[in-house]
Amino acid sequence: MTPDFSMFEGLSPVSSETLAKFDEVQALVENDVTQSCLASDDPKSSMGDEAESMIKNGLGFVSRMLRTSMSFAAGDILEDELDWGKTRLPVYGVSGEMVMRNFERYEHALKERLPTEAFAEVEPYLRGMMAMQRRFLGE
């Protein structure tokens, strides 16, 4: 697949204030998404008894990847990691569709927990990440 980073063109790195706010809510957002996934997707049926810890670990990875991308306005970081995930995550019972649903939950949780101004800076990166995942799903 040819990389397409057009959704990141012209974006500036996110401000240090927004990154600090992101850091403050990151663990809460990850917990929100984990609980929502457990309640809605029945991940234990595909991921086994370790589903909750696997989801938490995966979301921690998403947060770190997203934060790094926002720090440097580097969409290629997101594409590399999503490409890795589409190959590797199915081995653990995680479908691309589950990843997409959790990205949507992640966006919702961030919107709920970040101040409006901070979310406005983060949103283009979330949207880019979600657009890449949709492309991987063939949507």
Task: Report domain extents, the chain.
Answer: 14-137
Q: Residue 1: what pLDDT?
A: 46
pLDDT band at 7 (very low <50, low <70, confident <90, very high): low
Question: How far, CA to CA in Å, does 60 sit from each of 54, 56, 63, 96?
Answer: 10, 6, 5, 17
Q: DSSP secondary structure string, 104-128?
A: HHHHHHHHHHS-HHHHHHHHHHHHH
Evaluate whether 70 touches 21 at the Cβ level (below 8 Å).
Answer: no
- Give residue-wise pLDDT tens across range 18-60: 999 999 999 999 999 999 998 988 888 888 888 899 999 999 9
pLDDT band at 136 (very low <50, low <70, confident <90, very high): confident
- Rounded to two decimals, the pTM is 0.89
> Which CATH number is correct for 14-137, 1.20.120, 1.10.3470, 1.10.490, 1.20.59?
1.10.490
